[in-house]
Amino acid sequence: MQITSGVDEDALKLEAEKENLSPEKIAVRLAGAKARAVSLEKLDAFVIGADQVLQCEGSLFDKPRNAEEALAHLKIFQGTTHQLISSVALVFKGETRWVHTETATMTMRPLSDNTLERYLDACGPEVLESVGVYRLEGIGATLFEKIDGDYFTILGLPLLPLLACLRDEEIISD
């Protein structure tokens, strides 16, 4: 079951920026805060929280708010290498039991403005749900020339380490 945490991510990011936290620590903070918020409502449940941060040329990016911002982000990403940092936290009764973070490094090939506009038209509004403005599991894969990292990390959830943790905690069986 998926439950929205209600966590003010913008406020957490501003606080993290003031503290000069690394992108990895920001992802950890966001994932943990989301899981803890839901855990305090569901005290009898193990809660998984996840978040992802995108860093490109020293700047952090949020999900685009609209198609214009999505195009602007893609123009920055094209022809460059960026990092997707994904963090996942397991929380029980408000206490963090486990946290894991992984980074994927992705190189987007050089693309013309026309190609980027056609790409966004083909994707539709769902692409706004992705911090990188792409969905690797679909036509977003065509944007890249090189990818170093775990597929699930790129999708936003380091799944294999999470499954190992859930087995270790005996939440799921082998």
Alpha carbons 52 and 153: distance in angstroms, whole number: 9
At 45 the pLDDT is: 92
At 107 the pLDDT is: 98
Alpha carbons 75 and 114: distance in angstroms, whole number: 11
At 104 the pLDDT is: 97
Can you give the three-state secondary structure of 41-107, one letter per residue? CCCCCEEEEEEEEEEECCEEECCCCCHHHHHHHHHHHCCCEEEEEEEEEEEECCEEEEEEEEEEEEE
At 3 the pLDDT is: 84
pLDDT (tens, 9 = 90+) of the chain, 174 residues, equals 788 888 888 898 889 989 999 999 999 999 999 999 999 988 899 999 999 999 999 999 999 999 999 999 999 999 999 999 999 999 999 999 999 999 999 999 999 999 999 999 999 899 899 999 988 888 999 999 999 999 999 999 999 999 999 999 999 987
- Assign a CATH topology to domain 9-168: Maf protein (3.90.950)
**Exactly one of 44, 51, 121, 174 is catalytic; which is it?**
51
At 2 the pLDDT is: 82
At 137 the pLDDT is: 87
Whole-number Cα distances in Å, 114 to 48, 98, 117, 119? 40, 44, 5, 9
Alpha carbons 72 and 50: distance in angstroms, whole number: 26
Amino acid at 166: L
At 136 the pLDDT is: 87
At 135 the pLDDT is: 83
Query: Is 113 considered catalytic here?
Result: no
